[in-house]
Structure formats: structure tokens, C-alpha cells
Amino acid sequence: MKYFNTIFILILSFIILSCAKKDSSSSSSTTEVEGTWITSCTVDSDNDSHLYKIVVTGTDVVETDEVHSDTNCSTDAWKW
């Protein structure tokens, strides 16, 4: 259950990115979906608080899991 949110976000990201309609007549590299998505502060079974963030820029996707030592995600513990 500890990694459920991470796995869910990865699967959701994969679905969103693989469902994009490919336009073979366009030579542009624009992206249909660009932006930043951040979850609310969630507490796991180990009492670690997490903020999951996905950033889509062009064809690049970066997922970040920020772990915090308090329940309102204001004190950073580590990031990966």
C-alpha cells in the first residue's frame, strides 16, 4: 500500500501519454498536454507525508515524490 500512489500516478501518466493522437502531417513538436500536476499532501502507513508531482514539458516527463516529516507537507525530509 506504501507505493500505491506512485504506481497509480505512473499508470495514469502512461495512459495519458499513450492516448495522444499522432498527427503524421505535422512537423511541429508541440504537446497536447503540458503542465504541472501536484497531489494533495497524503500520509502513508509509515506516517511519512508525500507530495507527488508530474511535470510535462514538450516530450519530457518528470515525476517527483517529495517526502515530508510532518502531516501538512511543510518540512522536507527527502525527494526522489
Q: CA torsion angle for 53, 34, 21, 18 (degrees, to 10)?
A: -20
Write out the three cell numbers for 42: 497524503
The answer to whether the pTM exceeds 0.75 is no
19 vs 80: CA distance, rounded Å: 27
Say what the pLDDT of residue 20 is. 63
Residue with cell 513538436: 29
The reply to whether 23 falls in a domain is no
Say what the pLDDT of residue 35 is. 92
The reply to whether 44 falls in a domain is yes
Q: Which of 9-18, 26-35, 53-62 bottoms out in mean pLDDT, i.e. has the lowest? A: 26-35
| Structural domain range at position 55 | 4-18+34-75
Residue 31 has pLDDT above 60, yes or no: no
The reply to whether 80 falls in a domain is no
Which of 79, 32, 39, 78 shows the shortest CA–CA distance to 56?
32
pLDDT band at 80 (very low <50, low <70, confident <90, very high): confident
The reply to whether 46 falls in a domain is yes
| Domains in the chain, number | 1
pLDDT band at 59 (very low <50, low <70, confident <90, very high): confident
